[in-house]
Amino acid sequence: MKQTIIVFVQDEPGVLNRISRHFYRLNYNIESITAGRSEAMGVTRITIVCNHSDQYNQSLIKTQLEELNTVLNVQDITSVPSIVREYALIKVQTQKEEKDKLSELIKNYSAKIIDSGELISIIETTGEMEEVESLIKSIKQFKILEIMRSGNMAMVRVDQDEHRIEIEEIDKKKGWATQQISDALS
Amino acid sequence: MKKQKLTGAEIIWECLIKEGVDVVFGYPGGAILPTYDALNNYREKIHHVLVRHEQGATHMADGYARVSGNVGVAMATSGPGATNMITGLATAMMDSSPIVCITGQVPTAVIGSDAFQEVDITGVAIPVTKHCYLVMDVEELADTIREAFYVARSGRPGPVLVDIPKDIQNAETEFIYSEKEINLPGYQPTVDIQDDDIKEFAKMVNEAKKPVILAGHGILLSEASKETLELAEKASIPIATTLLGIGGVPDSHPLVLGMMGMHGETWVNNAIQNADLLIACGMRFDDRVTGNLKTYSPNSKKIHIDIDPSEINKNIKVDLAIQGDLGNVLRHVNPFINSAKKTEWFNIISGWNKESQQRDVLNIKTDALLGAQAIRKIWEGTKGNALIITDVGQHQMLEAQYYEHDDPRTLLTSGGLGTMGFSLPAAIGASFYEKDRDIWVIVGDGSFQMMLMELATAVQEGVNINIAIINNGYLGMVRQWQQMFYDARYAETPISSPDFLKLAEAYGINGYRVKSLDEIIPAMNKANKITGPTLIEFIVEEHDMVYPMVPAGANLNDMIQRPLFNENGQYKKKEKVL
Ligand SMILES: Cc1cc2nc3c(=O)[nH]c(=O)nc-3n(C[C@H](O)[C@H](O)[C@H](O)COP(=O)(O)OP(=O)(O)OC[C@H]3O[C@@H](n4cnc5c(N)ncnc54)[C@H](O)[C@@H]3O)c2cc1C
Ligand SMILES: Cc1ncc(C[n+]2csc(CCOP(=O)(O)OP(=O)(O)O)c2C)c(N)n1
Ligand SMILES: [Mg+2]
C-alpha cells in the first residue's frame, strides 16, 4: 500500500540517516521525501510518501519513528483529507517555431516558463502528482532535457483541524540549519 | 567566585561519578588517551577493569546492568576499539539492557578525512543503539553524558554510545552537572494509564476460563514480580515465561509452568495454544516464542502490556493493548480482579504435564553424562540459589529447562541476538555487583572459545566465578539443526578444543574434569572452596538433542518430542538421537 507520513524532527546533522533506515529495514520503498523548516524554530518538517507490501501493520513505521529521540512527532495522513502538492522544474528543448506551441500547451496547467533561451526553456509547475505527470506527458512531444520534482508535500485540510499538530519550538542550540539560516537572514 | 576549569577528559569521569558509576570496563588506545590519563586522578572512586577485547567490555557492562538494574559502562578507543563494541551493543539492544559506551574519536578537525583509526562509529552504531551521540563541543559534554544515562535507563532500557573526539577530551571548560529534570522533546518514556483500559483488562480476566500469563523480561525490568504473582494468584492463572522472563516469577511456584516457545515444555505451549485469554506482560512475541504466527493461540483474546508502543500489534494482533510500565499497570488492575478457581483448566494442563514426564531426560538411564543431567546437578549443587550466566546453544536451553530460578536477575543470557561468547565477560561484569550469590557460568565448548581471552581479565581481577564448560565436542545447537533438518550432514559443527585443564593451568586457575553424574558435586565443592575463578569441564554425550523442539516457523503445538523410553530407562525404538 501507499502511505503518506509527516514527520517532525529536530533539525540536526544525521537525522535523515536515523529515519531512513527504518524504511529500509521494513523493506518500504520511499517514493518521495521532502523536507524543510517548519513554523517552529529548530524543527524540520518532512513529508514522506512510501510504498510497501502489507506485511506489517500500517502503524508500525509510525511507532518505530516515534521511538527515535530526534523525532518529535509522526502523523500518518494517508486517510486524512489533505492538500498534497508537488513542485517541479522541467527543462525542455524545442525548435524555434515550436516555442509558441509550448507556451500555449502549458496554459492548461498551473505552470509557467520561468527561464528561456533561444531553444531551451525551464517550466515551473505545482500541483497534485497526477497533474505534474500529465504535464510531463504532454511536453514529451518536445525534447525534455531535465526534470526535477520536489516530491509530495502535505498539509491537512482546514476543516480537519483536529488533525493539526502543534509543534513546540525547541532549544535553539539544537536547531542546526534553521539557526544558521535565520542568523544569515537577520 | 570563578569555578575551576576541567578538561573534557576530567569531565567524563566526573559525570560517571555523578551517575553513581563505580566500575568501568575498558581498553585504552590513541583517541581515548587523554581520558585514560585523567583516570589516574579518579582511582579512589572508580575502578577500571582492563578487558582483553572491547566486545568483552560491552558484555561486562551488560552483565553488570542485567544483574543490578543500573547502567553499565564500557570504554574504548576510536576505530577498531569502537567497532569491536558493535556486537555487544547489538546484544544489549535486543535484550533491552542499559549500557553506556564511551568511545574516543579522532580530533574534530580531521573527522571525515579518513584519519588514522577513524570510523564513523555513530553512523555504524545507529541500528544497534537506542541512541548515540557525537560530541563536537566541550560545552555540551556534561549534558550529553547526563542525557545518555537518562536515555539508557528510562522507558525501555537500551544501549547508548557517546563518541568523544580527542580534542574535546583535551579542551577545558567549567564543569556544571545540571540537576534539572531532563526533558527531551522527542522522547517521552512515561505514559498515563487510561481507566477504561484497566476496566476492560479486569473484565477480560474475570470472564476468562482458560487464561495464561506470558511473563517476559519486562517483569524484571519493571520489578513487577509481586504484582504479577498477585494477579496470577487472585484469578488462578498459570504463568508461562519467556527465556528472558525466567526468574521474574519463582519457578517453584505452583502456578508457574515453565518456559514457552521453541524449546518450551509441551504443557506450556499446549496451554498457550488452548487458552482463551493471553495476558502478555512485558514480552515481545519473538518468533522463538510464537512459532507460526497464523496459528498462534487461535482461540484466545489477547492483552498486551508493554512500555514500548512499537511492540504492540507488531507480531501479534491483540484485543487490548496497554502502553505503560508493567508494575504500574498491574497495580491499577489488581484491585478489580475477582478471586477465582480454575480447577478444570489446571486438570487439563497437568494431564499434558504427566504425559511429558515419561520423556523426561532425568529418568533416562545412560552410561554417558547428558547435558541436562549435568545442569540439573549444578542446580542441586548450588541449591538453586546461584547467579547463572549462560552462553548460547544447547546448554543454554537445557539450563532454561533444568535449572529452576526462584529470584529475579539470577539468570543472565543473550536471548534476542543469541551472542556466543556472552557468558564469561557478562559474568565478570556481574561479579562486580553480585556479592552474595555463587556465580556460575554455564558455557558450551564452542561459545567458551569465542571469548576465552577474558579468562585473563577474570584472573587479573580475581573475580569469584566458576566456569562450567559443557563440552560435547560440537557446536551442538547447530549440529542439532543439521541432524533434524539437513539429514545429519554435519558441516563444520564438530569443533575441537584445547585441553581445558592445561588451559586453566596456563591461566593459573584450578580446573577439574567430570565425566559422570557422581563426580559433579565433589568437583563443585572443590571449586567453591577456592576464591577467584575456577573451571570445571563436563564431558557430556556428544549427540544429545534439546527437546521438545518447535521447528522454526512451525505451529507452536507441533513439537518434536523426546522419544519415549521403557521402564529400564532405554529408548523403546533405536533412534539416531543417542
Ligand atoms: C538458541 C536460542 C533459543 C531460544 N529459544 C527460546 C524459547 O524456546 N523460548 C523463549 O521464550 N525464548 C527463546 N529464545 C529467546 C528469544 O529469542 C527472545 O530473546 C526472548 O523470547 C525474548 O523474551 P522477552 O520478550 O521476554 O524479552 P525482551 O526481548 O527483552 O522484551 C522485553 C519486552 O518488555 C518490554 N518492557 C521493557 N520494560 C518494560 C516495563 N517496565 N514495563 C512493561 N514492558 C516493558 C519491552 O518493551 C519489550 O517488548 C531463544 C534464544 C536463543 C539464542
Ligand atoms: C557469534 C555467533 N556465531 C554463531 C552463532 C550460531 N550458533 C548458535 S548456537 C551455536 C553453537 C554453540 O556451540 P556450543 O557453545 O558448543 O554450545 P552447544 O550448543 O554445543 O551446547 C552456534 C554456532 C551464534 N549464535 N553466535
Ligand atoms: Mg558444544
Instruction: Assign residue A63 the CATH number of its domain.
Output: 3.30.70.260
Residue A29 sits in the same domain as residue A51: yes
B294 grid coordinates? 497464523
Residue A8 sits in the same domain as residue A74: yes
DSSP-H helix ranges across B394-516: 394-402, 423-431, 445-450, 455-461, 476-485, 500-506
Residue A115 sits in the same domain as residue A163: no
The pLDDT tens digits of the residues spanning B428-449 come to 999 999 999 999 999 999 999 9
Which positions of chain A have pLDDT values less than 50? none
- How far apart (Å, rounded) are the C-alpha atoms in residues B240 and B262? 13
Higher pLDDT, B175 or B184: B175
- How far apart (Å, rounded) are the C-alpha atoms in residues A116 and A119? 8
Name the 3-class secondary structure at A3.
strand
Expressed as residue numbers, the domain containing A93 is: 85-152
Residue A13 sits in the same domain as residue A42: yes
The pLDDT tens digits of the residues spanning A99-109 come to 999 999 999 99
**A27 φψ region: left (φ > 0), alpha (ψ -120 to 50), beta (else):** left
Residue A128 sits in a domain of what CATH number? Answer: 3.30.70.1150
**Count: domains in chain A:** 2
- Of B66-70, B257-261, B564-568, the poorest mean pLDDT is in B564-568
B195-355 has which CATH code?
A: 3.40.50.1220
- How far apart (Å, rounded) are the C-alpha atoms in residues B532 and B408? 25
CA Rg value for chain A: 19
The model's confidence at residue B328, banded by pLDDT at 50, 70 and 90, is: very high
Whether B262 is catalytic is no
Question: Is residue A185 situated within a structural domain?
Answer: no
State which ligand 2 atom lies nearest to the alpha carbon of B419: 26
3-state helix, strand and coil shares in percent for chain A, rounded to the nearest 5: 30, 40, 30
The pLDDT tens digits of the residues spanning B160-180 come to 999 999 999 999 999 999 988
Q: Which CATH architecture has domain B361-546?
A: 3-Layer(aba) Sandwich (3.40)
- How far apart (Å, rounded) are the C-alpha atoms in residues B541 and B543? 6
ipTM exceeding cut-off 0.90 for this assembly: no
Residue A77 sits in the same domain as residue A6: yes
- The candidate with the shortest Cα–Cα distance to B222, out of B305, B130, B321, B318, is B305
Pairing of strands B510-514, B534-539: parallel
- Residues contacting ligand 1 via CB (< 6 Å): B 95-96, 156, 216-218, 221-222, 242-245, 259-264, 282-284, 286, 288-289, 305-308, 311, 325-326, 392, 396-397, 415-416, 418, 477
The model's confidence at residue B572, banded by pLDDT at 50, 70 and 90, is: low
What is the homologous superfamily of the domain B4-175 according to CATH?
Answer: Thiamin diphosphate (ThDP)-binding fold, Pyr/PP domains (3.40.50.970)
Residue to substitute in B93, B242, B263, B479 for testing ligand 1 pocket (most ligand atoms within 8 angstroms of CB): B242
Considering only CA atoms, which residue is closest to atom 39 of ligand 1?
B218
B129 grid coordinates? 543503539
Residue A133 sits in the same domain as residue A103: yes
The pLDDT tens digits of the residues spanning B99-125 come to 999 999 999 999 999 999 999 999 999
Delimit the domains of chain B by residue range.
4-175, 195-355, 361-546
Question: Is residue A177 situated within a structural domain?
Answer: no
B342 grid coordinates? 480454575
Are B186 and A64 within 8 A, CB to CB?
no
- Residue A57 confidence (pLDDT): 84
Cβ atoms of B143 and B151 within 8 Å: the answer is: no
Higher pLDDT, B577 or A184: A184
Indicate the pTM of the whole model: 0.93
- Beta partners for B352? none
Q: CATH topology of B4-175 equal to that of B195-355?
A: yes
Question: Is residue A183 situated within a structural domain?
Answer: no
Q: Edge-to-edge strands of the sheet including A43-51?
A: A29-37, A43-51, A2-10, A71-76
Residue A9 sits in the same domain as residue A69: yes
Residue A74 sits in the same domain as residue A135: no
Q: Kindly state the greatest CA–CA separation across chain A.
A: 58
- Helices B266-274 + B343-357 axis angle, to 10: 150
- Residue B577 confidence (pLDDT): 44
Are B310 and A69 within 8 A, CB to CB?
no
Chain A to chain B, count of Cβ pairs less than 8 Å apart?
43
State which ligand 1 atom lies nearest to the alpha carbon of B417: 53
Residues 50-69 on A with a CB inside 8 Å of B are 56-57, 59-60, 63-64, 66-69
